[in-house]
Every structure is written in C-alpha cells, then in structure tokens.
Amino acid sequence: MFLHTDIPTRAQLDRLLASRNPASVSIYVPTDPVTANVGERIELSNLAADAVVQLRDAGVARSELAAIEEELADLVDYDEFWRYQARSLATFVTPESMMSFRLPNRLLSVVEVSDRSAP
C-alpha cells in the first residue's frame, strides 16, 4: 500500500523547535490511508475545539483564537487533502502559521497547547 506522507525536513523541525508563541497548538490524529477519513476529520475538529477552549482559558486574544480556528477549520474542510492520508496527521498551528505532516507511524489522538509546538 502506498502511503501519502509529508515527512518534516530538518529545517522544518528546527523552525518548529525555535518557534515561540503563547498560542501554539499541536494536534495529532491517527488516520487511515484507505478510508474517507470522516471520523478523523471529526476527531481533528473536536481536538481543535478543545485547543480553543484551553487558549481562551489562558487569556489568548480573540483575534489570535479566530486565526487558529480558521486555519484548523480550513484543514478539516480541505477535501483533496483528506483523500490522501498515511497513518497519522501531525498539525502545528499558531495565529501566524500552520504546518501539517502526514506520517507513516500510528500516533494517538492528542492536543497540546503551549508556548511552542511539540513535534
């Protein structure tokens, strides 16, 4: 079976590790390369909602919350992206940027909110 992967480069990992923002969100979702990924999209949406609650409770500005919500909602709705998955999706988002990687290994669902991405 062919897996559609986006393995992060060393430069991308270095950028994630160096990035600091009080509104950094890391989300991991297991995916399946042979399904429509409906459940995975719901899981990403639910974890995104959890992240927004955590950020709101931490006092993050509304404009930053809106930027994060929009980036994650766009990913959930991106049909072409979801057609080609591997075994896990790792997503790192701040109000200014988002990076996602389709990974060949199986990771558990988790959301982490911190001052940096957690690759």
User: Which residue in 110, 106, 118, 108 sits closest to 21, CA to CA?
Assistant: 118
Report the SS3 class of residue 86: coil
What pLDDT shows up at residue 119? Answer: 61
pTM of the model: 0.92
What pLDDT shows up at residue 100? Answer: 95
What pLDDT shows up at residue 1? Answer: 56
- Model confidence pLDDT, tens digit, residues 73-108: 999 999 999 999 999 999 999 999 999 999 999 999
Average pLDDT over residues 30-47: 94
